[in-house]
Each structure stands twice: as structure tokens, then as C-alpha cells.
Structure 1
Amino acid sequence: MSITKLEDGRWLVDVEPIKGKRFRKRFNTKGEAQRFEATVRQKCIDNPTWSAKPKDRRRLLELVTLWYDLHGHALRDGERRYSKLQQMAVRLGDPIATTFDATSYAQLRRKRLEGGISGKTLNNELGYVRAVFNELKALGEIDYANPLAGVKLLRLQERELSWLTTEQIGELLDSIRNRCDNPHTELVTLLCLTTGARWSEAEKLPAQRLQGNVVTYAETKSGRVRHVPIPTALADRVRVHWRMHGPFTSCITSFRRALERTTIQLPQGQASHALRHTFASHFMMNGGNILTLQKILGHSTLTMTMRYAHLSPDHLQDAIRFGPMANSSWVLG
């Protein structure tokens, strides 16, 4: 029976006029239910692709908000991502989501790339928008394909990782110690150089996360908790410093000023992050294990850590041993 009476007095239409195409809907009266059943059967005879479901007229901004309410709010960077998605929706003209297509997105991306926005930023944005459609589709909030599924990420030029030599480390620390205007800068710098921490991780380190000679970094970018041992002398200095000056406070501006007083030249945007690269680079040059480095840095995949592999003393030495020019007499002539 395609029409049944429910316990609450309403009437349920459950009809499948075409195999694989089923319609279910509740009505207050039997007459309404009968008319709906008849309409559905006739419509499907006239047009097998017909659907009783009204067209989805929601705009992109509305879907972005829905994504945040159902999923985004639970992400570590949810608020930041939500803000960026809102800005993107506005730039795109807040289209009706079902009409949003890859071409309009690609055109906007080209304009932003030509306007100086980095490829990495644009790739991140593409990932954010894709995630909105994927998540809402998984939750059953939309029933159409992701409009950006076929858009490819921009191919990025790999950036050279800048790291400090032993002499440059000494020059930087001298600059910090001689003219520093913030008492926390030196120790935050030393923690970054000693543990490979990001500046924000070292700067926000609370006292309870220094146990013995082991630093624990939690609430990290990757979400992984990391435990990294440090020299006893540094651990003692940090504890004495905290007793005298209290917890670390923001000192990145002081660090940048100290760096500017040196002869060190770093690519834009790599100032404090060069300390993390410096730890990783020296770790590998001194014979460290790449898998151990991955754990120390907290990389989710080994691919990220492999950027430092070429600094290992024996990295790719087989190119010399087994290549066609292995016979040194040919080289000497």
C-alpha cells in the first residue's frame, strides 16, 4: 500500500512509480496524500527525470555557514577558515551554490594570482572550498557533485629552505644578547634552535610542559604532542628565567629587530621559521636519522621531512659510486 495512516494521525505516501525512484512524504489528510501520489505517478510517466524535491536555491555563503555550524567549529583553525571562506564567497559574488562552477572559480583564481596572491595561499583556499562541498555531501545536506572536484592545484616552485650556519647562529645570538629589548627573546630562540619548534610553540610553552630535561609541545599545528629532550643547562636557565620574569610573552618583534642588526639575509617570511630549518638541517648534517627528525618536528608525513634528506653526509652518494663517471681517471683526463 503506497498510502498508510501513521500513529500520529497523519498520512504517509511511500510510492515508487519507477524502479529505483522512490518518493516519501507525510500529509495531514488522506486527500492530500492521494493527490500527491497521483501527481508523482503522472509526472514520472511524462518525465522520468522529474523530482518532487524543490530546487536548492541556497547561496554559497549559506552553505559556508552551514559547514561551519555542522563541522568547521570543531576544527582547530575553524574560525580562521570560516572567515576566509566567507571572504571567498563574497569575492565570487555569493552565487547560488548549484550554479557555482569550476570556470568561475578558475577565473577568480587567475585574477588573484596576477594580483600577487601566492600560489600556496590559492591552493589552500581551493582545499577549503572543496572541503565545504565534500563535508556537506557526506552529511546529506547537498545531493550534487563537488563543483571544484576537477580543478587542479597550482604547481608550485619548490622554495629553498634557508638555514643558519654555525657562524650565523653565533652572530644572531650576539645581536640578541647585546641589544635585546625583551628578556624572553634569547631563550625562545634557543628553544627553537635546540628542539626544532615553531616560534609560536616555544613562545607559548607553559612551565608544566618542561619536566626534567624534556620539553613537551602540545596544541601544535599538526595536532601531535611532541616530547623533545634539551640540555640540562638550558632547562635550568629556562626555569630560573621563569622565576625571575614569569612565563614567556610575545617577543617575535624583538627577534626580528635583532635579526635586522645582523648581516644575515633570509627570504621574506622565513625569519623565525629559519630557526626550525636550522635545527633540522644541522641534525641531518651531523648524521641524524630522517625518521627521528620526522618525530621531533611533528611532520604528519615523511614527505615533509625529506626536504632535509639531501643534507645527510651520505645522501645520494651512490650517484658518484655507481654512475658512469665512477672511473675517476676519466674525470682527471
Structure 2
Amino acid sequence: MAIEQLSDGRWKVDVEPVKGKRFRKTFKTKGEAQRFEATCRAKCIESPSWSPKPKDKRRLSELVDRHYDLHGHTLADGERVRQILIALAKDLGNPIAITLTANAYCEKRRHQLDAGVHGKTLNNRLGYLKAVFNQLLRLDDIDYPNPLTKVRPLRLQERPLSFLSAPQINEVLDALDARETTPGIGLVARVCLATGARWGEAQALTPERVKNGAVTFANTKSRKTRSIPISQALEQQLQHHFKQHGLFSNCMLTFSRVLDTTSIKLPAGQATHVLRHTFASHFVMRGGNILVLQKILGHASLTMTMRYAHLAPDHLQDALTLNPLADK
């Protein structure tokens, strides 16, 4: 008999689709056993040399490393993401990857949320882990569906973007210029404010990428280079710094410390990034085009840039004239 029930309730398949080629396997349910038997018969008819693949026993951390070897190493922040995923695999108990379920993941996520892990952090982790399964499935390194396909990100309350007013910009720049132990830190901030660059992009500038009235940012988050015009005065200041001090040092942490000495209080996680928000916000408030802003910031999607649209002078002004009380 090809399928029989064992004394412990499991179902055993013992099938010989072609003479001399026999397959045996046990399953928890009769349906699984029947599907396995049907697959064996159909595949052996199509290709007599076919054999079912052995069960994938790799653990989640092994899939993370495999993903890094095949694809992750090509990403700008691949190593950082790998470390995050290794820690996540440990938090999940590092199960055999094929046994991971959406329910198990969501239960663990709830505990992490209760423990104070920020929702955005949890959504980032979910996106990273989904990408591991999707990429390995695309490369035929796994042959089972992504177990997290139906897990949705947490719905988060949108936070207003913080940006600096003109007096606050002066306060920050004065505090940075006074930091004599870190030459050029104020200049990095000025590049961010003048171009909308991320701190790391501005900090990585070299003399060769500052010329002809523009700065060119390479090794960006989007992997695309972009050139942004700057004033002649800022170009001269940059070239003078390179001649006198060489390249900029890694001063992101110093910026946060200097910011703490000012009267400016920002939401968590918006230290150096407030300079990028400040550029974008003032650009829009002065009537700048949102599509131009997208190119300047290097956003791959207009959705990210649209966060600043509400700051435009004419944004939603029709609400004043077209509301039902306008004529009263």
C-alpha cells in the first residue's frame, strides 16, 4: 500500500513510481502524504532520474549568512543589516528556517514592542528578513515560500519632521565653529544645509569632488552619484580646509554632543539628519519645486519627498476658499 497510517497517528508514504526507484517518507497529515505520493509519480514520469530534495535543515542565521554571501555584500549597508538580522535570528530562537511561521514571528514582535523597541525599528527588521527569504527564493537557494509574506508592518503614527529656524541655524553653526578640537565640523554642517546632503555624504567629500561650483556626492545610500551646485564662497572654504587640514574626520558623534549644548531639542534619532530636513523644508517654503527637490535629495521615490509638500506656500490653500463656510 502506498500510504498507510502509523500507530502514532502519522502517515507513511512508500511509493515506487518506476521499478527500482522507491521513496519513503512520513507526514503529520494524510493530505501531505497524498500530495507527496502524487508529486513523486508525476515527476518520475516527466524525468525518470528525478528525486525529491532533502528537507532544508538550515537555521535562520545560516540563511542570513547565505543571503549576505549571495547578495547582501553588494549593498551599501549590507554588513550592518547582516548584524541586525543575526541578532533578530537569535531573538527568534534561531529556528530551522523552513519551520518559521508568521504567527511565531508576530508573537515575538509583540513582546519586543512591549519591551520598548520602537515600531519603526521593528518594521525595518521585518523588511530586512522578508528580503532575505525573497532574494534566496529568487535565486533558487530555497524552494519554499516566504513565511512572512502575509505579515504586515506595524501602523505607526506619523511624526512631524523637525527642522531648524534661521536663528537656530545660526546658533548651531556658532556652536560648531567654536569646537576648535574638530576642525571643519561647522563646514560639514554648512554643506548639509546648502545641499540637503546626509552627514556621511558631506563628511566623505574629497578635493576632487569639489569643483566648478558644485559638489559631487558618491557612495550614497541610493548608490547613485549626484552633483549639487554650491556658492563660490562655500567652494573656496572647502578647498581651503582640504589644503590646511586634509579630509574631514568622522565627526557625526561630535555634532550630537555639540547640539546637546545648545537650546535646541530634537526628537530621538534626528541629530545630524535635522540639517537635511532643514534644507528640504526651507527649499519648499521658499517655493521650490518638489520634483527638483527629489533630485537634489536623491530620493528614489517621490513618496519620500512628498513629506515636505505641506510646507509649500500654496499647499492646500483651496481649503480657505472652497470650504462650505467660505461665503459666510
Shorter-chain TM-score bucket reads: 0.7 to 0.9
Q: Residues 2-46 of structure 1: CA distance to partner in whole angstroms, max 9, x if unpaired?
A: xxxxxxxxxxxxxx95xxxxxxxxxxxxxxx9511xx369x9xx9
1:144 alignment counterpart: 144
Say if 2:76 is the partner of 1:89. Answer: no
Whole-Å separation in 2 of the counterparts to 1:47 and 1:206: 65
Say if 2:215 is the partner of 1:230. Answer: no
- Contact preservation (8 Å) 1:188, 1:202: yes
Measure how far apart 1:150 and its partner are.
0.8
Aligned 1:183-332 pairs, distance under 5 A? 183-327=183-327, 330=328
Q: Residues 73-105 of structure 1: CA distance to partner in whole angstroms, max 9, x if unpaired?
A: 222222222222222112211212221101111
Going from structure 1 to structure 2, the CA distance change for 1:87 and 1:253 (only over 3 Å counts) comes to closer
Whole-Å separation in 2 of the counterparts to 1:164 and 1:155: 28
Measure how far apart 1:274 and its partner are.
0.7
Which amino acid in the other structure matches residue 203 of structure 1? Q
Whole-Å separation in 2 of the counterparts to 1:305 and 1:297: 8
Which amino acid in the other structure matches residue 136 of structure 2? L
Provide the TM-score with structure 1 as the length reference.
Answer: 0.83
2:134 alignment counterpart: 134
Measure how far apart 1:313 and its partner are.
0.7
Q: Residues 257-283 of structure 1: CA distance to partner in whole angstroms, max 9, x if unpaired?
A: 332232112112212111111101110
Is the partner of 1:49 in helix, strand or coil? helix
Whole-Å separation in 1 of the counterparts to 2:144 and 2:128: 18
Going from structure 1 to structure 2, the CA distance change for 1:177 and 1:67 (only over 3 Å counts) comes to closer
2:11 alignment counterpart: none
Provide the TM-score with structure 2 as the length reference.
Answer: 0.84
2:182 alignment counterpart: 182
Going from structure 1 to structure 2, the CA distance change for 1:97 and 1:174 (only over 3 Å counts) comes to closer
Q: Residues 146-198 of structure 1: CA distance to partner in whole angstroms, max 9, x if unpaired?
A: 11111110011112111111111112222223454311111101101100111
Measure how far apart 1:48 and its partner are.
5.2
Alignment equivalent of 2:20, drawn from 30, 35, 38: 35
Going from structure 1 to structure 2, the CA distance change for 1:58 and 1:241 (only over 3 Å counts) comes to closer
- Contact preservation (8 Å) 1:180, 1:258: no
290-299 vs 177-186, which deviates more? 177-186
Q: Which runs of 5+ in 1 are unaligned?
A: 1-15, 18-32
Measure how far apart 1:200 and its partner are.
0.9
Which amino acid in the other structure matches residue 276 of structure 2? R
Whole-Å separation in 1 of the counterparts to 2:94 and 2:257: 42
Q: Which runs of 5+ in 2 are unaligned?
A: 1-15, 27-32, 41-50
Structure index of larger Rg: 1
